[in-house]
Amino acid sequence: MIMSLDTFLSVAAGGLVLGALYALMAAGLAAIWTTLGIFNFAHGAFIALGAYIGWQLVDAQAAGLGLVVGVAGATAAMFVFGILFHLALVRPFERRHDIVIASVITTLAGAAIIENVINLIWGPRSKQLGLIAEGQIDLGFLNFPLNDLVLIGCVIVILASLGWFLGRTRTGRSMRAVSQNREAAELMGLDVPRLYALAFGISAAMAGLAGIFIGGIRFMTPTMGTDPLMTALIVVIFGGIARFTSPIYAALIVGMVESFSNYFVGLYWTPAILFVMMIAVLFFKPSGLFSHHQRTL
């Protein structure tokens, strides 16, 4: 046998946690990609900023407001920040036909600015947010850290609320309408600029939450979002974006692959394996594994 059952289960559990985090990040990334048709390279910086704002509000050395208030405050702050980011760096180019390339440049620039501002405010020394919940939970066959369980539970709740918002509310439906056919949505009198801003706000809030979760299990640095952003990109391409659930399945697969390849092949080979997988998907099924139509960029 290659590995014992215990090891298998704990590696799989690690993959589940990674998958949940990637699902959160990829869903945020896809929210902008599908709605505005652009790729937000600052999503990684959003993740870092959310984590640092969370740290500022939660940590005892800073504001020390406690976990719940801190997380809520950081999420709200990131929502507003996302709207401002859109207003300053994307909106001015929305009526140009070269919006896609212009937004690549402006969001990359925005990412660099955010990371440097984090560096200026909080310094380059890494910080840690601390676990959301301490202790282990004994599932009989496996000791599962309570923190991971809470994390997965939170991600499920967040994604379920996003699904409810997109499917059941008029604003969410309008957002989907804009993403599927901007011109027809404009003709229906939907407020497209406001829906775009809303998509950015929601995406940034989700990035901030992801950052806070990551800050609990890893050290925070100003560039902490770069690697997760790359993986989230793989997830989005892997799963496709036709439905908002498709990146979620892909995130679980990518999380599992990463967890098992870390165990078997080693940490440094994992990105290579993931990118080879991504290229294979692009080669054989460009629209993504779980979708049949791709938003053209």
Partner 1 sequence: MTAPLLELRGLSGGYDPIQIFQNVDLVVERGQTVGIFGPNGHGKTTLMKTISGVLEPWSGDMILEGVRMNREAARGSRRFRNFNYAAITRRRMDPKAVARAGLIHVPQGNLIFPEMTVAEVLSIAPLAAHGRPDSAGPGLAEIDLLFPRLGERRASKIRYLSGGERQMVSIAAGLLAAPKLLILDEPTLGLSPKLRLELEHSIRKIKEMGVPMIIIDQDVGFLTRLIDRLHLFDHGRIAQSLEHADIPGHDALMALLFGEALT
**What residue ranges bind partner 1 (CB under 8 A)?**
92-96, 167, 170, 173-174, 176-177, 180-181, 183-192, 242-243, 293
CB of 179 to partner 1, least distance (A): 9
Nearest distance from C-beta of residue 143 to partner 1, angstroms? 42
Rg (CA), the chain: 19
Q: What span, in angstroms and rounded, lies between the C-alpha atoms of 267 and 164?
A: 37
Q: Which is nearer to partner 1, 16 or 175 (CB)?
A: 175
The residue (of 3 and 188) whose beta carbon lies closer to partner 1 is 188
Pairwise CA distance, residues 84 & 204, whole Å? 10
Q: Nearest distance from residue 83's CB to partner 1, in Å?
A: 18
Q: How far is the CB of 247 from partner 1 (least distance, A)?
A: 15
Do the beta carbons of residue 199 and residue 40 sit within 8 Å? no
Query: Least CB distance from residue 209 to partner 1, whole Å?
Result: 26
* 293, amino acid identity: H
User: Which residues are CB-neighbours of 175 under 8 A, at least 6 positions away?
Assistant: 35, 166, 195, 198, 199
Nearest to 28 by CA among 15, 8, 44, 10: 44
Show Cβ contacts of residue 43 under 8 Å, excluding neighbours closer than 6 positions: 25, 28, 29, 32, 203, 207, 225, 229, 232
Closest approach of Cβ 160 to partner 1, in Å?
Answer: 18
Q: For residue 235, give the amino acid letter.
A: V
| Closest listed residue to residue 183, CA positions, set 192, 174, 194 | 192
Q: Cβ 39 to partner 1, closest distance in Å? A: 20
**Contact (CB, 8 A) for 159 and 24:** yes
Q: Which is nearer to partner 1, 225 or 240 (CB)?
A: 240
| Closer residue to partner 1 (CB): 126 or 181 | 181
Taking the C-alpha atoms of residue 150 and residue 144, their distance in angstroms, rounded to an integer, is: 11
3-state secondary structure 89-119: HHHHHCCCCCHHHHHHHHHHHHHHHHHHHHH
Instruction: In angstroms, give the least distance from the CB of 185 to partner 1.
Output: 8
Q: Are 24 and 6 in contact (CB under 8 A)?
A: no
Take residue 101 and report the two structure tokens written for it. Answer: 């390339």
With tokens 């850290």, the residue in question is 145
